[in-house]
Structure 1
């Protein structure tokens, strides 16, 4: 029986820059770094250290070489926040690409892009 979603794999062109974006621009925590063959590594990040769901960032070059059957497409991720307007403004002030805020079935939502132009979304929680 599946209990929950433990993590998401994010494949990027520039792992160091991606980790920097999530850590420095969005305040995520680097939970762990695992050494992989040939000098590659897997970097696990989360909004906070004991978050239930984590994102593991891999270099696409590693995935292409060691798991060529995997899709390198960016997953569609939806994050939650209890203060969406402040988060939206904070991201704009940090010069993060953000979309307009919209109302989706009673809650506000906006999207944002990382430095590789992968888009993610944030929804308001009540």
Structure 2
């Protein structure tokens, strides 16, 4: 039986640029970084050090060679924020492409794009 989502694999073209985006612009923290010395490098990031779910930044080209049939598409992720307007403003000030904050039946939400033009959503949610 599954008890929680542990890690989400995000396949990127440039791990260093992706790491910079997620830490410098989106405010994530590096949890761990591993490199097997043979081209396999993975970087675990999360919104906080004690987050239950983390994102692993994998090199898309390397993974494609190792697992040719694997779907390397970007997952559709919904992040939660307790201060949606402030996070929206922070991303905008850091020149991140953001959409307008819109009211949905389930709450206020906006989209943003990473450096590879992958889009993610953020919804206002209190703890």
How far apart are residue 84 of structure 1 and its match?
0.4
How far apart are residue 104 of structure 1 and its match?
1.2
SS at match of 2:92: helix
Q: Whole-Å Cα distance in 1 between the matches of residues 90 and 25 of structure 2?
A: 10
Match of 2:32 in 1: 32
Match of 1:112 in 2: 112
RMSD, aligned α-carbons: 1.0
CA contact (8 A) 1:15 1:57 kept: yes
Q: Whole-Å Cα distance in 2 between the matches of residues 106 and 94 of structure 1?
A: 28
Runs of 4+ in 1 over 3 A off after TM superposition: none
Deviates more, 1:109-118 or 1:35-44: 35-44
Match of 1:64 in 2: 64
Query: What per-residue deviation string (whole Å, max 9, x for no partner) do you get for residues 18-41 of structure 1?
Result: 011001111111100111352330
Deviates more, 1:32-41 or 1:42-51: 32-41
**Mapping 1:1-126, distance limit 5 Å:** 1-36=1-36, 38-126=38-126
Query: What per-residue deviation string (whole Å, max 9, x for no partner) do you get for residues 88-125 of structure 1?
Result: 11111110000011111141000000000000000001
Closer/same/farther in 2, CA of residues 61 and 99 from structure 1, 3 Å limit: same
Q: Whole-Å Cα distance in 1 between the matches of residues 23 and 88 of structure 2?
A: 17
Q: Whole-Å Cα distance in 2 between the matches of residues 78 and 86 of structure 1?
A: 17
Count of residue pairs brought into register by the alignment: 126
SS at match of 2:38: helix
CA contact (8 A) 1:36 1:42 kept: no
- Give unmatched runs, 5+ long, in structure 1: none
